[in-house]
């Protein structure tokens, strides 16, 4: 009879003792360059997500083989040391203990997050190492470069001149001279194309890091990207999720900010953070010189044609890419007005007209709600099922532990929330999301029943993992309900299903023969990949070299495989030297702008940045 030993789960040890033991063993193995020992500090099914600290990339490695390969390539150069917790670890239940950690590399100061749990089997499957804590997930992030720290906190600039100074110019005069020289006698190292929240956040980071850069945008003023959208538009994410770097929203900021208020904040932020920003500027062309390792970019700045030579080019034109407008027969004979949702002016001027909105995601719902609220006849054409989640439920159940007033009161900072969110590898994130949306579905059962009774086609994603995974995988297919769903349920917003077949002079006709009278057609039909902007500016060859932007390779709807484990081409090096993509929602613009800015700063300062795991191209658009 064989005796089976019960695993030791360290119930007699505190979370701090368990984390400290793991950190000591892991650091000792790294210091000894013992790849096997360091790899064995991880569970067989484990995940190490690195944001620039080890890989000079945004990269997740999964399991022992990938972890060992990454360490073999990067450990000698990285030279990590001084691992320690930054606050007391927490017991997450089921034997899992987690902690925020800090450490250093040869060139940077870093922070991260680790989850450990007892290993329930030994290497030969017989359990002789059972009970030994090993890492389940590890997040490592670069936070600053040694010798190139931001001028903040103890390092903030003095501002005033104490004593004599041969430069007698005032702050305003120095700033004016700098602006006058930029693009003329002084070239930007980084050119950021697109001045929405993404471009502005990155511009602020680069400014604080002392990287010569300029953000250019075609609109008249910063924030016009929001001001010029339909007037009912407001943020669907809560304020705690949406802060920009350095300057959080004030405590009296509304939970869901109206679009004009956001526009004003972006303009204010650009000015206060001294972001070099050119309005009324359109990029006409961009060509990369392999020999010179720089770009030649021709821009039209308010009627003046200029040629810039940045080393790094960042497309911050929005993660959704170019508006996608379907081509259907009859568009040339339709007598009414047609436009994409991105150009929708709002309900004013449509009273007495019949508006048909093609699509059933966020923009379609917002537009239909504003129309019927203003007495306009609106019909929504649902072409495929849509995920719906009530805003209040999303805020309280899905985001509440990290991004809420209650989270702030409990000591959760924006930085800690961002690191916690980033610490969940995309491979297993859906496992954490499914129970969240199961809870939401149960809580809001009556709401969903009413919607389905009205004929609305619902889904919760391919694997019932809800909104976040749909957003990360495809960036579409959902609506955060702020009132439109009730208007569909009660019939105020008319609903039909089907695919567009053609337009007549005064109607929309679906493939099943359904004909809908229309004076206005709004195509709320989404957007293409961001590399569509690259194709327009740099040519299809460059766009194809980069490939599809966004998505994880999950092999779910609109996210073809193979698995990549990170957002394709976002915030990291691409197959086109000197070309980067930056965007996403306000949360992503805030969080990932740091890692992109540090990658650019390192290159500006001549710090070696050997990239591990540069992604292959599997899809062109």
CATH number of the CATH domain containing 305: 3.50.50.60
**Are residues 296 and 227 part of one domain?**
yes
Is there a single domain that holds both residue 473 and residue 508?
A: yes
Which pLDDT score, from 0 to 100, does residue 158 have? 80
For the record, the structure tokens of 618 come out as 């599997």
Q: Which run of H or of E encompasses 66?
A: helix 63-78
First to last CA, the chain: 61
Phi–psi pair at 403, nearest 5 degrees: -125, 85
Indicate whether 71 and 140 sit together in one domain.
Answer: yes
Q: Which of 507, 527, 547 represents a domain boundary (last residue)?
A: 527
Cα–Cα distance measured from residue 297 to residue 406, given in angstroms and rounded to the nearest whole number = 48
Say what the pLDDT of residue 229 is: 83
Whole-angstrom distance, CA of residue 495 vs CA of residue 458: 13
Q: Which residues have a Cβ under 8 Å from the Cβ of 313 and sit 6 or more positions away? A: 190, 191, 193, 286, 288, 295, 297, 578, 579, 580
Cα 617 versus chain centre, distance: 20
Tell me whether residue 614 is in a domain: no
* Alpha-carbon span 493 to 510, nearest angstrom: 18
How would residue 154 be classed by pLDDT, with cut points 50, 70 and 90? confident
One domain, residues 400 and 448: yes
Answer yes or no: do 107 and 207 share one domain: no
Taking each helix axis from N to C end, the angle separating 445-453 and 426-443, rounded to the nearest 10 degrees, works out to 80
Same domain? For 480 and 586 the reply is: no
- Whether 20 and 112 map to the same domain: the answer is yes
Residue 313, SS3 per DSSP: strand
Q: What is the pLDDT of residues 485-494, one digit of tens each?
A: 999 999 999 9
DSSP 265-297: HHHHHHHHTT--EESSEEEEEEEEETTTTEEEE
In which band, very low, low, confident or very high, does the pLDDT at 320 lie, cut at 50, 70 and 90?
low
Of the candidate ranges 173-182, 274-283, 329-338, the one whose mean pLDDT is the lowest: 173-182
Q: Do 227 and 303 share a domain, yes or no? A: yes
Please state the domain count of the chain. Answer: 3
- Per-residue pLDDT tens digits for 214-249: 999 999 999 998 998 877 788 888 999 999 999 999
pLDDT-above-70 percentage for the chain: 96
- Do 137 and 260 lie in one domain? The reply is no
What is the tens place of the pLDDT at every residue in 419-466? 999 999 999 999 999 999 999 999 999 999 999 999 999 999 999 999
What was the pLDDT predicted at 10?
Answer: 52
186 and 314 inside one domain: yes
Q: Which domain holds residue 30?
A: 15-145
Residue 5, pLDDT score: 36
Quickly state the pLDDT bin for 130 (edges 50, 70, 90): low
Rounded to an integer, the average pLDDT of 174-197 is: 92
- Least confident window among 103-107, 322-326, 486-490, 604-608: 322-326
pLDDT of residue 616: 96
Q: Domain containing 30 — which CATH number?
A: 3.10.450.50
Using a 10 angstrom Cβ sphere, with 0-12 exposed, 13-18 middle and 19 or more buried, the burial of residue 327 is exposed
The CA distance from 228 to 230, in Å, is 7
Cα–Cα nearest to 278, from 260, 303, 258, 296 = 303
Is the confidence at residue 607, as pLDDT, over 60?
yes
In the three-class reduction of DSSP (H, G, I as helix; E, B as strand; rest coil), residue 356 is classed as strand
Question: Residue 122: which pLDDT band, with cuts at 50, 70 and 90?
Answer: low
509 and 548 inside one domain: no
Query: Which band of pLDDT confidence, cut at 50, 70 and 90, is reported for residue 90?
Result: very high
Contact 391, 366 (CB under 8 A): no
Q: Is residue 156 part of a domain?
A: no
Q: Which DSSP string do the residues of 180-233 spell out, in sequence order?
A: HHBTTTB--SEEEE--SHHHHHHHHHHHHHT--EEEE-SSSSTTHHHHTS-TT-
Average pLDDT, the chain: 93
In this prediction, residue 195 carries a pLDDT of 95
Q: What is the pLDDT of residue 3?
A: 36
The per-residue pLDDT for 1 is 33
Does residue 153 form part of some domain?
no
State residue 116's pLDDT score. Answer: 98
Would you say how long the chain is, in residues?
621
pLDDT tens for each residue of 576-594: 999 999 999 999 999 999 9
Together in a domain, 285 and 271: yes
Q: Would you state the structure tokens that stand for residue 344, as one six-digit string? A: 């929708």
Where is 385: in which H helix or E strand?
Answer: none
Q: What is the dihedral of CA 493, 494, 497, 502, to 10 degrees?
A: -110
Residue 10 lies in a domain: no
User: How many CA atoms within 13 Å lie on the side-chain side of 496?
Assistant: 19
What is the average pLDDT across 175-195? 92
CB-based contacts of 517, cutoff 8 Å, min separation 6 = 354, 506, 507
Q: Where is the domain boundary, 465, 500, 527?
A: 527
Residue 153: the pLDDT is: 85
| Model confidence at 6: pLDDT above 80 | no
């Amino acid at each position: 009879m064989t005796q089976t030993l019960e695993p030791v789960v360290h119930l007699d040890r505190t979370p701090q003792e368990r984390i400290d033991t793991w950190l000591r063993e892991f650091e000792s193995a790294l210091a000894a360059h013992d790849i096997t020992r360091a790899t064995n500090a991880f569970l067989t099914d484990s995940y190490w997500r690195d944001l620039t600290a080890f890989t000079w990339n945004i990269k997740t490695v999964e399991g022992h083989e990938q972890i060992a390969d990454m360490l073999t390539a990067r450990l000698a150069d990285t030279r990590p040391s001084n691992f320690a917790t930054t606050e007391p670890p927490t017991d997450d239940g089921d034997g899992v203990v987690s902690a925020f950690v800090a450490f250093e590399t040869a060139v940077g100061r870093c922070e991260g997050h680790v989850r450990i749990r007892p290993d329930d089997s030994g290497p030969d499957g017989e359990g002789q190492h059972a009970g030994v804590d090993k890492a389940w997930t590890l997040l490592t992030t670069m936070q600053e470069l040694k010798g190139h720290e931001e001028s903040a906190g103890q390092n903030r600039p003095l501002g005033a001149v104490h004593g004599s100074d041969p430069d007698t110019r005032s702050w305003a005069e120095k700033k004016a001279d700098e602006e006058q020289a930029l693009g003329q006698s002084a070239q930007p190292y980084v050119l950021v194309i697109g001045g929405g929240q993404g471009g502005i956040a990155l511009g602020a980071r680069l400014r604080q890091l002392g990287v010569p850069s300029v953000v250019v945008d075609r609109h008249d003023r910063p924030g016009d990207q929001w001001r010029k959208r339909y007037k009912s538009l407001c943020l669907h994410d809560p304020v705690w999720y949406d802060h920009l770097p350095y300057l959080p929203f004030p405590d009296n900021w509304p939970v869901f900010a109206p679009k004009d208020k956001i526009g004003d904040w972006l303009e204010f932020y650009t000015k206060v953070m001294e972001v070099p920003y050119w309005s009324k500027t359109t990029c006409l062309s961009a060509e990369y010189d392999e020999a010179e390792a720089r770009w030649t970019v021709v821009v039209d700045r308010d009627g003046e044609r200029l040629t810039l030579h940045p080393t790094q080019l960042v497309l911050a034109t929005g993660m959704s890419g170019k508006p996608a407008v379907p081509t259907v027969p009859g568009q040339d004979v339709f007598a009414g007005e047609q436009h994409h949702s991105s150009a929708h002016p709002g309900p004013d001027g449509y009273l007495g007209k019949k508006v048909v909105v093609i699509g059933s995601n966020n923009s379609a719902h917002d537009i239909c709600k504003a129309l019927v609220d203003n007495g306009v006849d609106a019909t929504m054409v649902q072409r495929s099922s849509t995920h719906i989640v009530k805003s209040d439920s999303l805020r309280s159940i899905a985001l509440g532990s990290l991004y809420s007033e209650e989270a702030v009161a409990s000591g959760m900072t924006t930085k800690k929330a961002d690191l916690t969110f980033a610490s969940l590898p995309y491979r297993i994130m859906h496992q954490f999301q499914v129970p969240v949306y199961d809870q939401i579905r149960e809580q809001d059962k009556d709401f969903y029943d009413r919607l389905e009774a009205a004929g609305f086609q619902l889904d919760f994603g391919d694997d019932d993992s809800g909104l976040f995974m749909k957003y990360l995988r495809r960036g579409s297919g959902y609506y955060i309900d702020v009132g439109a769903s009730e208007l569909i349920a009660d019939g105020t917003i008319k609903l039909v299903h089907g695919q567009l077949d053609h337009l007549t002079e005064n109607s929309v006709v679906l493939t099943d023969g359904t004909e809908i009278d229309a004076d206005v057609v709004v195509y709320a039909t989404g957007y293409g990949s961001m590399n569509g902007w690259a194709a327009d500016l740099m040519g299809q060859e460059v766009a194809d070299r980069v490939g599809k932007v966004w998505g994880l390779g999950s092999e779910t709807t609109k996210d073809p495989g193979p698995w990549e484990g990170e957002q394709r081409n976002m915030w990291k090096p691409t197959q086109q030297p000197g070309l980067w993509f930056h965007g996403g929602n306000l949360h992503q613009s805030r969080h990932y702008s740091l890692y992109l800015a540090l990658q650019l700063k390192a290159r500006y300062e001549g710090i070696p940045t050997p990239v591990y795991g540069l992604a292959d191209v599997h899809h062109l658009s």
